[in-house]
Amino acid sequence: MKELTIYHFMPDKLNLYSDIGNIIALKQRAKQRNITIHVEDINQTEGVTLENCDLFFIGGGSDREQALATQELSKIKNTLKEAIEDGMPGLTICGGYQFLGSKYITPDGTELEGLNILDFYTQSKEERLTGDIVIESDTFGTIVGFENHGGRTYHSFGTLGKVTHGFGNNDTDGKEGIHYKNLLGTYLHGPILPKNHELTDYLLEKACERKGITFEPKQLDNTVEEAAKQVIVKRVKNNKK
């Protein structure tokens, strides 16, 4: 029996623009490889260990919900950091990505403490960065999604790729997301995984590798997924700002 367990952190607070679709995509593409996915919703972290976790997911949220989620997750931040350092695959979206850093500065200058798992920070401004976004990634190829954030994130880690349309991490350096070990952090909602099968398969494959499960077939028929992605790519080309 091939089985993976996903820990979905704070689904009661962090689920913007159907981020839950990421879990559905992981389940669906695992099923096509006869892998069963078991999802644990973690809304309270007291006493939680990651012993049974193969992959984790954190969605996005408003500043308020993100601050509440950070408080809750701070109880297990060392465990989470160790798991990330050990190569546990994870996906974190927007607010969930931002609070992995040291701090989130709101537009009025208030500093909200992050989990400080990775050394980066986010500065938020009133003017939001929104719309379709397209990235070119050396690892994953073309990635598409939707972004809506006030936060500007600055770091010198590896990224998901170069922004060809939209904003990404901030409005200056033209890069999007973070790729550290097997952790992906990104501003892309959409949700990102149904729109980008390469990322879904990457996370599943890494989880399988760590657990000693065969990940086959490596490639699925992605004709429909590719066609859907091209709709976004064409749309942004036609609406070039």
Which residue in 60, 89, 90, 191 binds ligand GLN (CB under 6 A)? 60
Are 190 and 166 spatial neighbours (Cβ–Cβ below 8 Å)? no
Closer residue to ligand GLN, CB minimum distance, 19 or 201: 19
Closer residue to ligand GLN, CB minimum distance, 153 or 159: 153
Q: For residue 113, give both structure tokens.
A: 């403490």
Which residue pairs from 180-183 have beta carbons closer than 8 angstroms and sit at least 24 positions apart in sequence? 180/84, 180/118, 181/84, 181/85, 181/87, 182/84, 182/87, 182/88, 182/89, 182/90, 182/206, 183/84, 183/88, 183/89, 183/90, 183/91, 183/92, 183/100
Closer residue to ligand GLN, CB minimum distance, 60 or 166: 60
Handedness of CA 15, 100, 137, 235 (dihedral sign): positive
Q: For residue 219, give both structure tokens.
A: 């490639």
Which residues in the 5-34 window bind ligand GLN by CB under 6 A?
A: 16
Q: Is 53 a catalytic residue?
A: no
At closest approach, how far in Å is the CB of 95 from ligand GLN?
3
At closest approach, how far in Å is the CB of 8 from ligand GLN?
15
Exactly one of 53, 189, 197, 208 is catalytic; name it.
Answer: 189
Q: Is 197 a catalytic residue?
A: no
Give the contacts of 86 (CB within 8 A, at least 6 positions apart).
none
Which residues in the 90-149 window bind ligand GLN by CB under 6 A?
A: 94-95, 124, 148-149
* Residue 128 is labelled as binding a ligand: yes
At closest approach, how far in Å is the CB of 39 from ligand GLN?
20
Distance CA 106, CA 50 (A): 31
Query: Distance between the two ends of the chain, CA-based, in angstroms?
Result: 50
Nearest residue to ligand GLN by CB is: 60
Exposed/middle/buried for 4, CB within 10 Å: 0-12, 13-18, 19+? buried
Exactly one of 94, 155, 165, 197 is catalytic; name it.
Answer: 94
169 binds ligand GLN (CB under 6 A): no
At closest approach, how far in Å is the CB of 111 from ligand GLN?
14
Residue list, annotated binding site: 128
Catalytic residue numbers, as ranges: 94, 189
Residue list, annotated binding site for substrate: 128
Q: Report the interface residues with ligand GLN, using CB under 6 A.
A: 16, 60-63, 66, 94-95, 124, 148-151
